Amino acid sequence: MVGTRYRYGGTDPLQGFDCSGLVHYAYGQAGYEVPRTSRELFRAVRKIAVGEADPGDLMFFQDQTKLSHVGIYLGDGLFVHAPANGQNVAVASLDSPYYQAHLVAVGRLLAH
């Protein structure tokens, strides 16, 4: 889905994705029903340490005081996400100072 446009509330590759819509779609394509919003996803995951993250785990980010963003971990410090209006689905690095400063939790939806 890398390159798909961002669209607030979006849940499919034709119209675009927001961050939680991308997670919902990706897990759905793999045959799993998961919550739709970032907050619901955050409540549904089992929190784990960053060093325990496996591909498919979720990365949660916060701006100021509220949970604001979620991405899917790919491994090797990289995650895929739908960043913001005017941008496309992209791969980003957890080494980025911005994402390091805003990462609030890593979570696992499925037991593995």
Model confidence band, residue 70 (pLDDT cutoffs 50, 70, 90): very high
> Residue 105: its pLDDT value, please?
96
Q: Is 24 a catalytic residue?
A: no
Q: Which of 24, 81, 102, 112 is catalytic?
A: 81
**Mean pLDDT for the stretch of residues 66-87:** 96
**Mean pLDDT for the stretch of residues 83-103:** 96
Q: Which bin fits 89, alpha (ψ -120 to 50), beta or left (φ > 0)?
A: beta
pTM here is: 0.94
- Long-range contact pairs involving 76-81 (C-beta distance under 8 Å, separation at least 24): 80/1, 80/2, 80/22, 81/19, 81/22
**Mean pLDDT for the stretch of residues 19-39:** 96
Q: Is 102 a catalytic residue?
A: no
Tokens of 88: 């496309």
Tokens of 42: 């955050």
**Mean pLDDT for the stretch of residues 53-78:** 94
Quote the percentage of the chain above a pLDDT of 90: 93
Task: Look at residues 64, 66, 74, 71 and name the one whose alpha carbon lies nearest to residue 21.
Answer: 71
CA distance 37 to 55: 20
> Residue 66: its pLDDT value, please?
86
